[in-house]
Amino acid sequence: MSFYIRRESSKLWKRVCAETTTELSLLAENWKYVLGGLICQYIHGLAARGVHYFHRPGPILQDVGFFILPELGIERAYISETLFTFIFMSFVLWTFHPFIVKNKKVYTVLLWCRVLAFLFGCQILRIITFYSTQLPGPNYHCREGSKFATLPLPENILEVFVIIPRGVLYGCGDLIFSSHMIFSLVFVRTYQKYGTRRFIKQCAWITVIVQSLLIISSRKHYTVDVVVAWYTVNLVVYFLDHQLADLPDRSSAASLLPVSKDSRTKEENHKLLNGNSGDPADRRSRTQLNGKVQEVGNVVHTETEMNGV
């Protein structure tokens, strides 16, 4: 047993090292896109903090979601944030799965370049929207009588460009449309295209629907903020996804990872034993032509289809 554990640990370590080398080379080629995406996230944070200076508390607007859904209350407001944290962390961990999982489908750096582009495309529309009209926030800390409802004017210019954690948790004024829904929908749509587990995809969409209801029940956003996010984010991701070049498919193209002579020989022998000639065209049948990886549990019998049966 100990020998088996040492052997598997050695394989895992070699895989991590090889994958790290590959991802670092990709990062060296695409660092401008990654850095630009992170700067855009900072700009979005500054914009959300800036609109808080203009926020003025007032009567909560009439909202159909507030009448239909029960109010969780301030003591249960953490439920919505907990679910969002779960969605966020699950997606981040999944994007790094190529470092440890043998059946690698995507490159982490290239995937995050695409995700950051989706996020900022939605966030730039969000910035324009919530600066156009400031609505009285329905959240508990944005109501009249709360010390967080308004921000005092900055004492110096440096204070404007500093984002503090408290400002992220107690922001007001950046309502239409929901930033939580931007991240959740972008992450789920990305996994929908590049993930391989159909069951997880179905659970992910159900989780986002529950997240939408919890946001309204927690009174963090009006219903219109969630509704606008649903169709805006999907349209933006759909448009950008067709404009950007698709990610290279690791299962149908030559991998960037270094392949040893022994492993190459074993792979060729395995293909010969299974009646596979080893031609790249045979491997392309494992994936869909539109760039999406094939789902587990949805195997396509390519040879049968080619024979017309």
Would you please indicate which residues are annotated as catalytic (active-site) residues? 180, 221, 225
Q: Which of 140, 115, 134 is nearest to 190 (CA)?
A: 115
- Residue 126: exposed, middle, or buried by beta-carbon count in 10 A (0-12, 13-18, 19+)? buried
- What 253-258 contacts at long range (C-beta under 8 Å, 24+ apart), as own/partner pairs, is 253/280, 254/280, 255/104, 256/22, 256/25, 256/26, 256/107, 257/18, 257/19, 257/22, 258/18, 258/21
- For residues 2-22, b (16+ Cβ closer than 10 Å) or e, as one string? eeeeeeeeeeeeebeebbeeb
Dihedral angle at the C-alpha atoms of 291, 39, 214, 176, nearest 10 degrees? Answer: -100
